[in-house]
Amino acid sequence: MTGTSRLYEPVKPEMATVESLLRSLSKVEPPWLGEMLEAVLSRGKRMRPAIALLSGKFGEFQSELLVPLAASLELLHTASLVHDDVIDSAGTRRGRPTAGSLFDNHAAIILGDYIFAQAASLVARTGSTEVTRLFAETMVVMATAELIEDRGAFNYNQTTDDYLHRIKGKTAALFEIAAYGGALVSRADPRFATALRIYGDNVGMAFQIVDDILDFTGDAQEMGKPVGSDLMQGTLTMPSLMLIERYPKHNPVKRLFDARGGAEHVTRAVEMVRESDILDLSYRSARAYRDRAFEMLETLPNGPARDSLAALAEYVLERRI
């Protein structure tokens, strides 16, 4: 777990149990499967499990039900990343080798499928038909968004609304079910559950927008991927969409997409974004989502769990990787 662990203090014992549960999944036969699982499950900030557990504090907190939910969300997230890295032909993620580079893409795809199956098995332990249904629906939403992104690669005739719809499915949906699922499993007051659902959606939207900003501003070594890697994959994000809107005729993003490559076009696009106010405007959008998340927290009872959820929403905007 990373430095975010200080934000998880109200659920520290349960987060440790989640870690133990995730590690236990690697104790399988044949041994090489365990090694593959350990390679991909030993990383991550564990934000989604933490949100699920913290949301459970607003109802009847039952760790024996919430821990499987939290672990299942981390597995769903991990499986989606394993598949993403294969699609993107990524050799590293956050500076560490991807499953595809460690084993090969064919094995990585099957590994992702295996992790999806384990996630479904764990969420069933919650005993909640509603949460299990929402979990399945979230998988459909995430897969659909990934397909939309893949089919829209190198197509610059997209709008900001298209982008927001895509990241709502690709990223925010998992944050949403983390918060809402935790509330449902703990039988929280419906008003609290609704507030947490909206909180999760808005935190997820802010998270992805900041992630897309970091693709232009981040340090390549620290992030473990090249600056402008989204553009290299033909993926439009908020900053690149704003750049196209400002310069519809003479634009390096369009030249990049038309040529299906060209490092010089990526470099120029990154320079133009950095030299403008586009990043400030993108952060303004992310802050608006964060502020909406804060508004939802105001409707919840005071306490350490609410404070941690607020700190997590703030962290999303301040992170650098």
Which CATH number does the domain housing residue 27 bear?
1.10.600.10
Phi-psi region of 224 (alpha: psi -120 to 50; beta: other; left: phi over 0): left
Distance of CA 220 to the CA centre of its chain: 19
Task: Give pTM, 2 decimals.
Answer: 0.94
Give the pair of three-digit tokens for residue 94: 């956050």
Number of domains in the chain: 1
Query: Is 131 within 8 Å of 181 (Cβ atoms)?
Result: yes
DSSP H or E segment with residue 93: strand 92-93
**Which residue type, as a one-letter code, is found at position 191?**
R
Of 59-68, 83-92, 277-286, least confident by mean pLDDT is 83-92
**Does 101 have pLDDT greater than 80?**
no
Go through 178-206 and write b for each residue having 16 or more CB atoms within 10 A of its CB, e for each that does not.
bbbbbbbbbebeeebbebbbbbbbbbbbb
Query: Is 181 within 8 Å of 217 (Cβ atoms)?
Result: no
Range 190-207 average pLDDT: 98
Angle at 60 between CA 59 and CA 65, to 5 degrees: 115
The full DSSP string for 130-191 is: HHHHHHHHHHHHHHHHHHHHHHTTT-----HHHHHHHHIIIIIHHHHHHHHHHHHHTT--HH
Binned at pLDDT 50, 70 and 90, residue 43 comes out as: confident
CA distances from 5 to 35, 47, 75, 204 (A): 25, 9, 18, 18
State the Cα torsion 314-316-318-320 to the nearest 10°. Answer: 160
How far apart CA 254 and CA 303 sit, in angstroms, is 50
**Which residue type, as a one-letter code, is found at position 45?**
K
Query: Domain range holding 230?
Result: 3-318
**Does 3 have pLDDT greater than 60?**
no
**Does 320 have pLDDT greater than 90?**
no
Binned at pLDDT 50, 70 and 90, residue 22 comes out as: very high
**Does 225 have pLDDT greater than 90?**
no
Range 193-209 average pLDDT: 98
